[in-house]
Structure 1
Amino acid sequence: MAGHSKFKNIMHRKGAQDKKRAVLFSKLSREITVAAKMGLPDPAMNARLRAAVITARKEGLPKDNIERSINKASANDGANYEEVRYEGFGPGGVSLIIETLTDNRNRTATNVRTAVSKNGGNLGAGGSVSHGFDRLGLINYGPAAGDAEKVFEAALDAGAEDVTSSEDGHEIWTAIDALHEVAKALEPVLGEPEGAKLAWRPQTMVTVGEEDATKLLKLIDTLEDDDDVQTVWGNYDVPEDVMEKLGG
């Protein structure tokens, strides 16, 4: 298991699915509202909102919830959220970038710091680990989009920079400012993506052993359970044999 991409599968295997689904829906709704407030409340005219809506639909967020989240922004209703990023280290020296949307910086900072420190990690200053990542656009497709060759050719024609394919699907990487143009160009060929967003791609990976992997997965699980935490990115690589021992 590398980085962030496979974590959702592990999350569901670990049980408590209903609770996690409620947390996920809350995060998706929050991102839709923030995206709509930052631009026009029309997915066709707002690239970030379109990406948020695509992801929400793929995750099963009901249409009524999506429309309600957009309307909150239009009516200037509800809390005002700001984006806050935390950087630090997890077990085994893994670098972590934790992205949040919060209406209370103090609450979020306390929760994130507590989760990290109680699970074998520590937070650093801004920029302490992000220099080891590249800021890129990421478009996700499932295996049904086609084989690696088909997806690679489509991505190349659309202007993508790189493609990573596995049995779990395809990750298409783009320059930041090309993300939504590439995503739009891919749809006629591969269909609607499972997600399109800005991402942090690690420049080097850290292989994590069984003991550190156990602590790391608990840390990520704790962070993901927090409503304010949107995404956790890391440069960890957990070997398959270790994942099997951990029940992943």
Structure 2
Amino acid sequence: MQVKDLNHPQIHLDKTIPGHKVGVWRIAVSPNGKLIATASEDKTAKIWDWQGNLITSLIGHQDVVRAVAFSPDNKIVATASYDKTVKLWNTQGKIIATLKKNNHDLGAGALNISPDGKMMATADLEGTIKLWQIEQEQGKVSVKLNKTLKSHTEEVRKIIFSPDGQLIASASEDNTIKIWHRSGKLLKTFYGHEAAVWSLAFSPDGKTLVSVSEDKTAIIWNLKQMFELDLLAAGCSQIRDYLRTNVEVSPSDRLLCQNSDRQN
């Protein structure tokens, strides 16, 4: 693994960190910026400091570790593996929980934790997404399955929460991106890529989404426009009958919700 110093205009290689025996699939930085976590094909995840010192190795998975994420309080590291389990660890390397019951039938390849730390989203090789409720009380952590979402038809490569934690975006090998509410409701499917979508990122204000794909393109999606259309649709659903049936409505006003009808 290589660490580069981004504090200077000219980016230079700061450090190369040996440690994993084979390829590294994912990397995560703790919210406080003090730790780095890596997930590897060698069936382990590792936690490092920014000087490249190994803090601990997370040993317990029986297959490739495909994803890793920190909780917002920096105290928990979550890992997802092809061994069909998701594990939660403390930053000293102790296993807090292993999710087996209600877990993915095929290997889990993507995960993330919401900004409030109360929800975790995981996804697998067949496109199934699971939403888990995380509860912490008196130093103990419990995780319960909340929702199972099925809409993607192939592996989900990346899953993320919006900065406010209300939206979930998923990128899949089925060439699509899906936007979900954290309640589990599917809000929108974006089509545009011609091959597998590999990764996603929200803008800091949550109004823009960027995706990158195996088709050699990056696409910037305007979520603000999506929300405006949803607001229009909600308003039109309330007045549609009124516009159609009230004799005092002008012919031009009757067409106000026509575009909304087409969107739906």
* Larger strand proportion of the pair: 2
With normalisation by structure 1, the TM-score equals: 0.25
* Larger helix proportion of the pair: 1
